[in-house]
Structure 1
């Protein structure tokens, strides 16, 4: 390793502002900046943030890794690339120690306990629920057919109702609107905190800290109330995920989840299962609305038993607009990635937003083409990773893909979608979101 380190090159990257480094550019246009960095400097790029030689509290280097081989190394060797990164520390402040934010033995125990709840067979049991909610969306659209709708708003309602019913059963009419209101606020506050170079403790009574505490308390109260009500009435009759969380046990130790752990898992499922899926659906529908010839091909296969193109359209939508646009790790030792030396205690970012546009693996990368995902694909595993990878890959991948294909099939079977021929503006919050309404016109086929 010493020889390898000594031969490895330093990581190249832009200089940025003389005092603040790349902080202004990354704040103003994060996605554009890292894509430009890739095109200019290659597969490993360093971004200095803060004072040129300041203390670590106000100065940090971030290294972005874009080649699939390097991404494989980052995501599959947690002993070298840990989740001791600020993004997860911030999320932990908001949603506790659930599967997304925990680490080490605590995470491993949770993963073993929860994995049986998300096998393809278990997830398939939610198909009927998803179809019912998709039918609700289709029927609601009948009122506005021919007028302009906001696809993102429609998809948010659908995904929150699906994840709400999957978690809590049918009694969600009071819960869903309040959670739908709180989740975007949480995302905004988390991003604002992530962009602070100096992060004050939440115990300090600043306006932002007070707001964070208010939102977190409101979320906890909603979920704790549901858990307490379920405990009072018992859950022998229920088949929802909350009942399964009560019954879940670590297969190695037999240990059950505590009530606090159950609450934290629910908050993770709500955040990950709502925000990411609704954005992915809205962007995919908009892309189909801008490419009517592709849309007609997708719609033609619905109901014929040959619906592979529906899933391919979803996957291509997530290639161009990956809801989880970047993932962070922290180096626990000096390491070489793609021939470049990265010191210990460096934040390393892998970004689907960039790698999904890597021209070596995606010819004409900005073109919307679901055929890329049909048949045998001769691409490296990590040329495409909207659900992450390695031991920390998203446990809800099967659920999300099923949820998206069910809704897309239901809508396209009834309606033709027309969208403005322009790319929707996006904002990289905790997840990728549209900057405003994602407008489209629906007409009955």
Structure 2
């Protein structure tokens, strides 16, 4: 924590059970939470223990941070109608849209998730993988022996094209060339940009005006793609996520072609606006997050020659027998040591008893992914990068490894992310070994934790 941070003693509201927390100005706590949680949260954990509170603007609102697995399990298993995840993510609404799976709650969330689930079920991963591998292979083809790879940049390039081609289904090179720079700008959401949620007047002034003008241009392209795709007659033969979503619920359409939910069910097809919001959500939730996870994985392998050797052998083997177990473990352990998204939020809709504490309505309960993953009681030698812990039965207990959240709000793209990560790792390691000269420091960029030096690696052709 910065030496110039405002100081104060902790305080506890014993009437409603809100746990102790720092008595800092809310503006300072908010800024640190948005910009430097990696430094802030462990310091507060050491000072206040497994459960503590902070005040976050606007409001300020009370966030109660939890890290004990039993408490995390309780929150994930709680009644979603009283523990609203969408409200906890509301700061993202100006970008993701009001129909985003991450923003909505209750019946709208159940409907959206039901429509999206088939596009991310286990069997569909096989249909997506060849295109993911082709995109990764085209990127790796551009590398050369002895080059210094700016890993985060190159992984972002791969995962962006995966979103555009595998998720959006855009294959026209001219449209891709227009979309890539605009989408990169759209993904570049910093803490100050999110202030537009609290202060809508910012939409009219720079830099917010330029950001949201770019977002409108992306929306126009996406709406055009959705309209054109709806008019096509070969959707059954297309494997991209957008085409699958356009087919979702089509048998439940109202007579006459209406697209609103019918009284007797909640599976009517997604409207164009809903489709746009889900596509942008998949973009923002699945692009830089996966790129960061891949960057951290390659960085750790570059610092551990023994693990790199095993990963190279696993990559060669996976090309033959399709077994990604060790590559999968390497990814999962990187996501544990370097949580890409480091917390989960649920806002209470009524007074609730959580972990033995009576908490009032509108408190946001926040399982800390960061603290859970670094907890020695959860992971022995938690600071060490040890992929084998994910290969040993029983070593990773439930509600301790939670990079995708949990409960009914667990990330719908979890299987896709792991499939994509293993596929990309395989393409890289079948042609190159990598070395890293020094540990990469962490930086909170946008809403993801990334290597601040972009994880440079030296390439060695095999």
TM over 0.5: yes
Q: Contact 2:348–2:360 at 8 Å: present in 1 too?
A: yes
**Cα 1:21–1:170, aligned 2, differ >3 Å: closer, same or farther?**
closer
> 1:17-166 alignment to 2 at 5 Å?
17=25, 20=27, 22-23=29-30, 25-26=32-33, 29-49=36-56, 57-77=58-78, 78-83=80-85, 85=87, 88-96=89-97, 97-141=99-143, 144-166=144-166
**Cα 1:358–1:172, aligned 2, differ >3 Å: closer, same or farther?**
farther
Q: Tell me the SS of whatever aligns to 1:140.
A: coil
Task: Give TM-score scaled by structure 2 length.
Answer: 0.85
Q: Contact 2:346–2:364 at 8 Å: present in 1 too?
A: yes
Match of 1:11 in 2: 19
Per-residue deviation, residues 81-106 of structure 1 (Å, max 9, x unmatched): 212535x2232221211222222211
Give 1:387 deviation, angstroms.
Answer: 0.9
> 1:376-391 alignment to 2 at 5 Å?
376-391=393-408
Q: Distance in 2 between matches of 1:201 and 1:215?
A: 17
Q: Distance in 2 between matches of 1:350 and 1:428?
A: 20
* 1:278 is the counterpart of 2:286: no
Q: Tell me the SS of whatever aligns to 1:207.
A: coil
With 306-315 and 335-344 compared, the bigger mean Cα shift is at 335-344
Q: Contact 1:424–1:435 at 8 Å: present in 2 too?
A: yes
Give 1:436 deviation, angstroms.
Answer: 4.1
Match of 1:53 in 2: none
**Cα 1:248–1:289, aligned 2, differ >3 Å: closer, same or farther?**
same
* 1:425 is the counterpart of 2:442: yes
Give 1:381 deviation, angstroms.
Answer: 1.5
**Cα 1:432–1:222, aligned 2, differ >3 Å: closer, same or farther?**
farther
* 1:214 is the counterpart of 2:213: yes
Give 1:79 deviation, angstroms.
Answer: 2.8
Q: Tell me the SS of whatever aligns to 1:426.
A: strand
* 1:328 is the counterpart of 2:345: yes
Match of 1:291 in 2: 304
Q: Contact 1:235–1:243 at 8 Å: present in 2 too?
A: no
**Cα 1:254–1:42, aligned 2, differ >3 Å: closer, same or farther?**
closer
Q: Contact 2:249–2:268 at 8 Å: present in 1 too?
A: yes
* 1:410 is the counterpart of 2:427: yes
Give 1:215 deviation, angstroms.
Answer: 2.8
Give 1:199 deviation, angstroms.
Answer: 2.1
**Cα 1:189–1:159, aligned 2, differ >3 Å: closer, same or farther?**
closer
> 1:239-258 alignment to 2 at 5 Å?
239-249=239-249, 252-253=265-266, 255-258=268-271
Q: Contact 1:98–1:261 at 8 Å: present in 2 too?
A: yes
Q: Distance in 2 between matches of 1:212 and 1:38?
A: 36
**Cα 1:224–1:16, aligned 2, differ >3 Å: closer, same or farther?**
same
Q: Contact 1:27–1:195 at 8 Å: present in 2 too?
A: no
Structure 2 unaligned blocks of 5 or more:
1-12, 253-264
Q: Contact 1:163–1:270 at 8 Å: present in 2 too?
A: yes
Q: Distance in 1 between matches of 2:153 and 2:131?
A: 20
Match of 2:225 in 1: 226
* 1:263 is the counterpart of 2:264: no
Q: Contact 1:21–1:48 at 8 Å: present in 2 too?
A: no
Q: Contact 1:44–1:340 at 8 Å: present in 2 too?
A: no
Give the superposed CA RMSD.
Answer: 2.7
**Cα 1:184–1:347, aligned 2, differ >3 Å: closer, same or farther?**
farther
Per-residue deviation, residues 83-133 of structure 1 (Å, max 9, x unmatched): 2535x2232221211222222211111111121111100122112112212
With 278-287 and 344-353 compared, the bigger mean Cα shift is at 344-353
Q: Contact 1:188–1:430 at 8 Å: present in 2 too?
A: no
Match of 1:200 in 2: 199
Aligned pair count reads 430
Q: Contact 1:49–1:60 at 8 Å: present in 2 too?
A: yes
Q: Contact 2:189–2:447 at 8 Å: present in 1 too?
A: no
Q: Distance in 2 between matches of 1:365 and 1:177?
A: 43
**Cα 1:384–1:9, aligned 2, differ >3 Å: closer, same or farther?**
same
Per-residue deviation, residues 23-67 of structure 1 (Å, max 9, x unmatched): 4543552221112212222211112347xxxxxx54332211111
**Cα 1:10–1:226, aligned 2, differ >3 Å: closer, same or farther?**
closer
Structure 1 unaligned blocks of 5 or more:
51-56
Task: Give TM-score scaled by structure 1 length.
Answer: 0.88
Q: Distance in 1 between matches of 2:36 and 2:169?
A: 41
Give 1:380 deviation, angstroms.
Answer: 3.4
Q: Distance in 2 between matches of 1:69 and 1:401?
A: 26
Q: Distance in 1 between matches of 2:230 and 2:249?
A: 17
Q: Tell me the SS of whatever aligns to 1:443.
A: strand
Q: Contact 1:130–1:162 at 8 Å: present in 2 too?
A: yes
Give 1:430 deviation, angstroms.
Answer: 2.1
Q: Distance in 2 between matches of 1:28 and 1:167?
A: 30
Q: Distance in 2 between matches of 1:226 and 1:163?
A: 14
